[in-house]
């Protein structure tokens, strides 16, 4: 009893939400039930597989989740969280999903997520501008992280050290400007293929060594950025890509080196909505049969050619 009372008190609730409950938990039949702080525990409460926090918490810290043995999903969405202190999630059992979406988190500090045993971490729709270089190190169960709709300007190749099962990283709708050297050096430790979604950023620079040491990509999405060209040397460092998505970029041509060196390493390349030049398109069409990749471009791109 004491522990759950703490859970709610230590997190400094300020005002309550629509239905007034502090927590929503799910009974044996999967039906949502309300829990109010300081009430006795209802039957089955401590065995719930899913908890939805239903309070406003500007500052999240010292929450005692060890109490919930069967917890698979913890949802702290839209709770007005501005900051999460290190150690908050340290008692979580192996947990499938942790979601902190739709809050006001501005920085991800070291110590909040390190060693947390979660598979899916959702941080979308916050205001994250800063991720400490070690913030996501040593998350041994992490398979998928979503950082969409934040305010990050910088991607770092140092992130995700020793996250050996990480296979999906989504960081769409941020303000990333560049892929730095060895941007993917910490991946492919324990998985064959990793997918990255960089869609809707402002990437206009891809370092010549960005893909150095990278492994097999599933999806590599760089669409709706401002990628001006696909340099044969830079992209030549790729091992393989299932789907290279460059829709909505600023490509005027695919270089000879790219066509020769990269198209055979990809299954599908999308270049819809790029200002491709006519002679480049013609060359591309001519080569289509002799490279492995299928190249998808907008029909209207060929109209004037
Ligand atoms: C869960 O709560 C019940 C009372 O509702 C208690 O009998 C049981 O021991 C608790 N289980 C655990 C694992 O704490
Ligand atoms: C966890 O999230 C994933 C992906 O969003 C979803 O497919 C899965 O059903 C969720 N698992 C649980 C236990 O909630
Ligand atoms: C990586 O994580 C594993 C646990 O998942 C740990 O045993 C190992 O020491 C870590 N390696 C490094 C270099 O920190
Ligand atoms: C690309 O692959 C095709 C077979 O799919 C092969 O005929 C061609 O020689 C390869 N091109 C290069 C540059 O490796």
Residue 8, pLDDT above cutoff 50: no
- A 10 A CB-CB count for 115 gives 12
What is the mean pLDDT of the segment spanning 151-172? 97
pLDDT of residue 193: 98
CA of 149 to the centre of ligand 2 (A): 20
Q: Specify the higher pLDDT residue, 4 or 170.
A: 170
pLDDT at position 6, please? Answer: 42
What is the predicted pLDDT for the residue at 303?
56
At 184-223, the pLDDT tens digits run 999 999 999 999 999 999 999 999 999 999 999 999 999 9
For ligand 2, what atom is nearest to the CA of residue 144?
A: 4
Residue with the smallest CA separation from ligand 3 atom 4 is 140
Listed range (77-91, 95-109, 138-152) with the worst mean pLDDT: 77-91
Ligand 3 atom at shortest distance from the alpha carbon of 162: 1
- For the CA of 41, the closest atom of ligand 1 is 5
Instruction: Give residue 186's pLDDT.
Output: 97
Domain ranges for the chain: 71-302
* Per-residue pLDDT, 288: 82
Three-state SS for the chain is CHHHHHHHHCCCCCCECCCCCCEEEECCCCCEEEECCCCCCCCCHHHCCEEEECECCCEECCCCCCCCCCCCEEECCCCCCCEECCCCCCCCCCEEEEECCCCCCCEECCCCCCCCCEEEEECCCCCCCEECCCCCCCCCCCCEEECCCCCCCCCCCCCCCCCCCCCEEECCCCCCCEECCCCCCCCCCCCCEEEEECCCCCCCEECCCCCCCCCEEEEEECCCCCCCCECHHHHHCCCEEEEEECCCCCCCCECHHHHHHCHHHEEEEECCCCCCCHHHHHHHHHHHHHCCCEEECCHHHHCCC
Q: Indicate the pTM of the whole model.
A: 0.90
| pLDDT of 225 over the 60 cut | yes
Mean pLDDT of the chain: 89
Q: What percent of the chain has pLDDT over 70?
A: 90
Question: Domain 71-302's class?
Answer: alpha beta
Which of 28, 43, 46, when mutated, tests ligand 1's pocket best, judged by the most ligand atoms within 8 Å of its CB?
Answer: 46
Number of Cβ atoms within 10 Å of the Cβ of 1: 10
In this structure, are residues 175 and 153 in contact, taking their beta carbons and an 8 Å threshold? yes
């Amino acid at each position: 009893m004491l522990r759950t009372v703490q859970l709610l008190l230590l997190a400094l609730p300020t005002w309550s939400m629509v239905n007034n409950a502090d927590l929503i938990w799910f009974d044996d039949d999967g039906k949502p039930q309300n829990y109010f702080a300081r009430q006795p525990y209802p039957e089955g409460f401590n065995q719930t597989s899913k908890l939805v926090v239903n309070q406003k918490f500007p500052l999240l810290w010292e929450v005692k989740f060890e109490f919930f043995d069967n917890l698979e999903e913890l949802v702290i969405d839209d709770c007005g969280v501005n900051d999460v202190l290190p150690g908050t999630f340290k008692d979580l059992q192996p947990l499938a999903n942790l979601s902190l979406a739709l809050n006001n988190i501005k920085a991800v500090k070291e110590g909040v997520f390190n060693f947390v045993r979660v598979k899916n971490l959702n941080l979308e729709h916050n205001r994250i501008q800063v991720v400490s270089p070690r913030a996501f190190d040593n998350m041994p169960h992490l398979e998928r992280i979503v950082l969409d709709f934040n305010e990050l300007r910088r991607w770092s190749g140092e992130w995700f050290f020793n996250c050996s099962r990480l296979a999906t990283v989504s960081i769409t709708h941020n303000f990333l400007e560049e892929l730095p050297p060895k941007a993917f050096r910490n991946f492919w430790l324990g998985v064959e293929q990793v997918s990255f979604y960089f869609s809707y950023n402002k990437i206009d620079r891809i370092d010549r060594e960005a893909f150095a040491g990278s492994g097999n990509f599933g999806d590599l999405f760089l669409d709706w950025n401002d990628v001006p060209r696909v340099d044969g040397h830079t992209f030549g460092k790729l091992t393989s890509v299932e789907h290279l998505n460059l829709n909505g970029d600023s490509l005027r041509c695919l270089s000879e080196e790219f066509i020769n060196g990269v198209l055979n390493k990809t299954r599908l390349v999308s270049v819809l909505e790029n200002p491709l030049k006519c002679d480049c398109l013609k060359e591309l069409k001519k080569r289509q049969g002799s490279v492995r990749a299928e190249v998808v471009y907008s029909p209207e791109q060929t109209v004037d050619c």
